[in-house]
Structure 1
Amino acid sequence: MEAADFKAVLDSVRRFVREDVVPREDEIEESDAIPEDVRRKAVDMGLFGYTLPEEYGGLGASLSEDVRLAFEFGYTTPAFRSMFGTNNGIAGQVLVNAGTEEQQRHWLPRLAEGAVASFALTEAEAGSDPSGLTTRAVRDGEDGAYVISGAKRFITNAPLADLFVVFARTGEESRGTKGISVFLVERGLPGLTVGPKDRKTGQAGAWTAEVFFDDVRVPKDSLVGGEEGAGFGTAMKSLVRGRVHIAALCVGMAERILEESVAYAASNRQGGRPIGEFQLVQAMLAEIKTGLYAGRAMVLEAARQYDSGEDRRIAPSAAKLFCSEMASKAADLAVQIHGGMGYMRGTVVERCFRDARLFRIYEGTSEIQQLIIGKALLKDATPDAVRKDVK
């Protein structure tokens, strides 16, 4: 995207978030839904496909551009970004990275125009580590169709999805990362059912649910890329990019948390003077600011290295690990600064405290990021004879 074009998009998104979404955060929280007029405006602005290729109706944003937009998305309720996040991230990137030309031509314009995609990987025994995945796709009939059976859980946007990007075993292996394939499953097929919305601690308005596949028959051209066994690598490629995006959302949330905390410290009075005059309150504000400053720099550098191809393993995990932990800590400090008011529903920092907690879990827990970073470092330093043990 040309620099001037991107600046115009960024400015428009910033105004949209602060003028249209922020004033309706309480409505979103109470109704557990994004208002239809907000959704429609997001579609019209191209937000449902801003990272998708321009030839398919998207804006073609690089990851460096994506994270700068995500700083703005993160400033408000995570549900706002969630409604189009999988289109641009983990689900949409499966099509961009691995889809056939026909699959891309059929689905990417629809996603850019507001259709919703869900990334159906997680299962009861397969979360950050997909080796426990048990959903299976079996060939059936002379037409080469597949029959999918299994269940997924915590699937973002499942109640709204038009397309499910489904990971299932096609190989003989019953465990491990080999033999996993990925399929495009359209809503409405016989045997596909979506459970009720999950009741979550936070992130109201961002809907997740279980998805059940009871002998769902899909045509052979639903196999992404037309290749069996490539699902694990495809998933990891999408998740790596998504981790930098999540880190950027955490930076945006931390910025909002800091603004709310500074304003409260400057105006709330105890003992006849603003609490911001107390040095321990200043220390907490300084800690939030320092984490925010470091997180922003880390995200921008991780995105740059991703776009250049320099590092698509350690930097994304390091950014996601640091920023998700940082946002949770910032929210906790903000509640402390607000005192009793920070524990009251209707206070921005109380909502952020609940919303931030999920960032340390999805798209790879903090512990998984630590393992990725540690193993990657050791792999570079370990002799060939034992390198296989730290894959």
Structure 2
Amino acid sequence: MIRAFRGEFLSVSRDPRTDPEAVRHEEDGLLVVEDGIVIARGAHADLAGRHAQVPVETLPGLIVPGFVDAHIHYPQTDRIASHGEQLLDWLERHIFPAEKAFVDKAHADAVAAFFLDELLKNGTTSALVFPTAHAQSVDALFEAALAREMRIISGKVLMDLGPEGLRDTLASGRAESEALICRWHGRGRLGYAVTPRFALASTDAQLADAGALLADHPDVLMHTHLAENLRECAEVEARFAGAADYLDVYDRFGLVTDRSVFAHGVHLSDRSCARLHESGAGIAVCPSSNLFLGSGFFDFGQADRHDLRLGLGTDVGAGTTFSLLHTQGIAYQAAQMKDERLDPFRALWLATAGSAALLHIEDRVGSLEVGQEADFVVLDPQATPLLARRTRGATLAERLFALQVLGDDRAVARTYLLGRCAWNRDKT
């Protein structure tokens, strides 16, 4: 089936900091989609004649690629906005008790369904997702994603030093991970990630086995946390006294490769940054979470000096919003704390093509180019009276920045998956 969409299109396929030509904008554009794949994109005046027989849907607002969340925890949905602690105490007080409930498949099913619908409501069409240590938590997420045709990457959490009710073993962690890879990886739009929670949650033997598992499956990702919080960094240093730094702990177990996605990276040494660049591993920047837990502010200047691969994550539930649109605005504020000026087009790239490249799905999603899947979001610059007032007569950059700073799920008019409307604000 062929159909077309007419409207104002904006995408940023590469980092505009180094490639200003990466920003692509058609004020009156046409996107032609066949069986969920983009087959043409350009100015309406140039393409309309060639596709005169194709039904056209005209979309108001600003159309951007579907957002790609590079780090988020679906089992923490019900613990968003949990008061009072920094990272390690917050995990013990709020998160581990909530995650223990995912031993119940029915509970996991219910949360997964709500979580994915919330992503769509906020314009997120692809995501790298932490489940829990329970295999059924992965099944629940993948079943719900498959039904919605979302592009989701996830994997059973490995934590043989976790609390009772979340603790796996070396043997069970490996066996369940292998079975889940066999059952889900490559099915529909799903992908798998080997997922040690963080260095303190696994024995040396399990970290080594995670590295072996990654090596045995060269087309899966590795997803974990790195240098998020100062107390966490101190405890890692105390336990792994022989390591050069936090990243070196993972490196010693074969977990630093070009398929590695590390969330946070707030407290990185230059040595770590050099090694990240050398390996091709990257960082999912999570500014909302870092602020909420008092962890610090990501250093974009340091990352750029080392030419690190970056994406953007909401990190719900330490993150306080499912909206990657609003998270772009929070990233701007975090950068300001390090005397950096995050350009709005670069922020959009981080939440779309940048995250897609970090997740190794940039050939499928992220920039709405020919051959990619037709996942896109219709943003409404008049979603609230304040947005409408601020964007009246504004330039493209000003409209985009206002949406990032003032916008949230109310600014997402529609979300499309494979050219099909999966969320319509005005019909829900």
Fold shared, TM-score > 0.5 on shorter chain:
no
Greater relative contact order: 1 or 2 (C-alpha under 8 angstroms, separation 6 or more)? 2
**What TM-score, normalized by structure 2, do the two folds share?**
0.24
More helix by share: 1
More strand by share: 2
